[in-house]
Structure 1
Amino acid sequence: MSTHLAILPLDIIGTLTTRLNQENRHPDYATRFLRLPHPRTGLSSLFLLHDQHSQDDPTKTSSILEVQAISPTNARTWFVGEEVVADGKLMVMTPMDPMFLLMNLLRVPQARDGSKGNFRPMPDIIEEIAATISDVSEKDAQKDPSLKVSADDVISFLSLDFVQSSIKRVCDVKVITEEITVYRYSHDIVLENLKGKVGRLSDPRVAEMSRTLVRNLAKDGLMDDGKEELLESGRIKLACELLSQYLPRDILQDLIASYDFSKLDAHLKTVRDEELALLAAAPDTGKRTKAAKAGTAGNGNQKKKKDVRVADAVATDDGDKKRKKDAKSSHGVEKLKKVNVAGMSKLSTFFTKKAA
């Protein structure tokens, strides 16, 4: 059995610890993994279903966690006590609003002609969604088995009580009788609830808890005095970007279009133009830097030329000394020239043929 390190919310860790400390599985705890289409990409993703309640506390706590694996660029291992975990991945499990999963699933039965469709009982909608997604993932699983989403996982998720209570945030609801309630996916209701999320995330008390968001706002010059209106728009846009991790492209575009970012966009364009102007001036600075380097190189070249001249002078002087030395060594030759060679045979006579 492979071992993985994971980051979990404290309440989940407490629940799992309680279960592990008991001899038998507690009937009031339910934890299982589900494979469901990711709301942004539609690809098969792993989620952890956590459902907890006890006899002492009648309140039922249920949640769905997104499971993500963070893999290191280079090979890495973990040391846990005396054990070595060869797989250096880190599993991160974070709570997720089931609304994001619902908006993606409940759009599946929508009419292809773009109309809103008809109201239908939820059991019929769930059955169609499960069958459609299962058929699509079956084709994808032929290329990659990990992309398979089973109909059982879809049905299990959509049948959960806390998921059922969230359906009204995604659908129009009509109560026909006490026994019959019908539903229809509503794009307007989805946008309305998303804007509520944007409002909560863009609240200064929430947005400024993140240093990253504050740095982004300051970088764009939105934290300066007198730019309160632009700052508010900046917070709203950042909130939309945060939600974009869980939104299909068309819903994200409609969400952004529901706000007026014209002044913010004009301000950001001015900031970007100033940055581009500075970048455009960078080559001149580069030329000056190159000129400075060329000047230094020129000084170096002059020094080299001077060194060459010195070397030449030294070489010339050495040559003169050598010639003087050669001149001194030729005194023996001069003495030989003064020797009387009359009557001496020439050296060439020793190499000529004798006469017959």
Structure 2
Amino acid sequence: MTSKSDSSNKDISQWVAFLPKCEVTGSGEGERPVFIKLRHPKTDKCALFLVGNDGYKIYELLALKEKYRSWFIGDTVQRDGSLRITTSVDPLFLLLPYLIKAAENGMYMTLDQLVDDKQFPQCTRLLKCCEKCDISQVSDCKGSVEFTAYRYSEDKTITWLKAKVEQVATKLEEKSIHVTGGAQSATFVRSSKGNGASKEDYMRYAVGLVGDYLQVPLAQKLAKQLGIEEKVVSPKSSEPAAKKIKLSKDLPEATEDYSKYFTEKSSKTKPSKLSAQQKGLQKVDKSGMKSISSFFRKSTK
């Protein structure tokens, strides 16, 4: 699918995106997918999302960019060669930042009161997206079916997030996705037995994926509750110990005088043994003899 944006210039800006087929085959007016701008739940910055035909499903648009790439679209060349793909997002992730912010006053609030953002007016579309979600999984509720108020609950949210992490970890293990040393598709692996990933590795990677939609403090609490600590590898410890010791003994620091080092080194080396012929030459009387270099000098008149 290609999208166009209005421009005052003759050139029309376009970009290429891969969308779910079910979201572009709707019929009738108002049943087409809609691109909207919302706050990203982790960074709080503007991000592009897609609301599906039914108005309930929501997708995040991710851009894959390369320095030298363009698209040929019809008879035109689009300079922006980035490719946008969609990934489904649980609407509750987008609702969480509003719940957490409203929890500062400790009051119960209705959804339309919670999702009120003048900077991102299109956030009101989250109201319909959340209709089919069980908001009680992340909040305490009061009221009736016709009128319900909500207040953020951290305990419920952590429980809900734990279930999410376990689901993701299970799916990663089923697909034999490599989660050690970077993600790798199982397509390039002959056998999943060579994966070498433990249950903890899958859980750690799943926490990272879920954490991409959480504010940092909440993501840290989730990792702590799951007993997963971030592995920190020091660059200094990445080299084998034996090799480091050898380098420190045999070579000086880069700031030292290398010529001095090698002079000292050569002075400490033991002299090589002379052969019998070399010892005999040393005993010969060399008085009156000319050196070989004298034969190559210019003759003096």
**TM-score, reference length from structure 1:** 0.57
C-alpha displacement at 1:27, in angstroms?
2.6
Distance 2:126 2:44 in 1: 16
C-alpha displacement at 1:232, in angstroms?
2.4
The structure 1 residue matched to 2:20, chosen from 9, 32, 35, is 9
Distance 1:287 1:257 in 2: 39
Distance 1:277 1:27 in 2: 60
Distance 1:102 1:66 in 2: 14
Please give the root-mean-square deviation of Cα atoms over the aligned residues, in Å: 3.8
Task: State the partner residue of 1:317.
Answer: 295
Deviations 1:139-178 (A, max 9, x none): xxxxxxxxxx333x122322x1x412222332222344x5
- 1:177-256 matches, within 5 Å, as 179-203=146-170, 205-207=171-173, 209=175, 211-215=177-181, 231-256=198-223
The structure 2 residue matched to 1:40, chosen from 20, 42, 54, is 42
Q: For residue 53 of structure 2, give the secondary structure of its aligned residue in structure 1.
A: strand
Size of the alignment, in residue pairs? 244
Q: Is the 8 A contact 2:41 2:97 kept in 1?
A: yes
C-alpha displacement at 1:91, in angstroms?
2.0
Distance 1:66 1:41 in 2: 14
Distance 1:243 1:284 in 2: 42
Task: Tell me the amino acid that sits aligned with residue 2 of structure 1.
Answer: S
Distance 1:210 1:316 in 2: 80
The structure 2 residue matched to 1:172, chosen from 134, 140, 143, is 140
Q: Is the 8 A contact 1:207 1:213 kept in 2?
A: no
1:259 aligns with 2:213: no
- Structure that is richer in helix per residue: 1
Task: Tell me the amino acid that sits aligned with residue 51 of structure 1.
Answer: N
The structure 2 residue matched to 1:64, chosen from 55, 58, 61, is 58
The structure 1 residue matched to 2:32, chosen from 30, 37, 41, is 30
Q: For residue 72 of structure 2, give the secondary structure of its aligned residue in structure 1.
A: strand
Task: Tell me the amino acid that sits aligned with residue 77 of structure 2.
Answer: V
The structure 2 residue matched to 1:122, chosen from 111, 115, 118, is 111
Task: State the partner residue of 2:125.
Answer: 156
Distance 1:175 1:237 in 2: 39
Task: State the partner residue of 2:242.
Answer: 281
The gaps in structure 1 that reach 5 residues or longer are: 20-24, 53-60, 135-148, 218-222, 299-312, 328-356
Task: State the partner residue of 1:78.
Answer: 71
Task: Tell me the amino acid that sits aligned with residue 209 of structure 1.
Answer: K
Q: Is the 8 A contact 1:102 1:170 kept in 2?
A: no
Q: For residue 13 of structure 2, give the secondary structure of its aligned residue in structure 1.
A: coil
Q: For residue 5 of structure 1, give the secondary structure of its aligned residue in structure 2.
A: strand
**TM-score, reference length from structure 2:** 0.66
C-alpha displacement at 1:208, in angstroms?
5.4
Q: Percent identity?
A: 24
Deviations 1:249-282 (A, max 9, x none): 1211211121234xx88xx68xx69x82844433
C-alpha displacement at 1:9, in angstroms?
2.9
Q: Is the 8 A contact 2:33 2:53 kept in 1?
A: yes
Q: 1:279 to 1:80 in 2, by over 3 A?
A: farther
Deviations 1:279-311 (A, max 9, x none): 4433444468979xx8xxx9xxxxxxxxxxxxx
Q: Is the 8 A contact 2:39 2:120 kept in 1?
A: no
The gaps in structure 2 that reach 5 residues or longer are: 1-11, 184-191, 253-261, 267-290
Task: Tell me the amino acid that sits aligned with residue 42 of structure 1.
Answer: D
Q: 1:194 to 1:85 in 2, by over 3 A?
A: same
State the structure with more CA Rg. 1
Q: 1:64 to 1:314 in 2, by over 3 A?
A: farther
